[in-house]
Amino acid sequence: MASYNRIVLVGNLTRDPQLSYTPANTAVCKFGIATNHKWKDKEGNAREEVCFVDCTLFGKGGEIFNQYMSKGRSVLVEGRLKLDQWTTPEGDKRSKHEVVVDNFTFLGGGGRGGEGGEGGRRPETNAAPVPSAASGGPGGGGGEYDAPPPHDDIPF
* Residue 17: pLDDT band with limits 50, 70, 90: very high
Q: What average pLDDT does this structure show over 126-153?
A: 39
Q: What is the DSSP string of 96-144?
A: EEEEEEEEEEEES--STT-S---B-SSGGG-SS----TT-S-TT-STTS
* Residue 109: pLDDT band with limits 50, 70, 90: low
Which CATH superfamily hosts domain 7-125? Answer: Nucleic acid-binding proteins (2.40.50.140)
Least Cα distance to 98 among 111, 116, 86, 113 occurs for 86
Sign of the four-CA dihedral 56, 130, 142, 119: positive
pLDDT at 35 over 50: yes
pTM of the model: 0.67
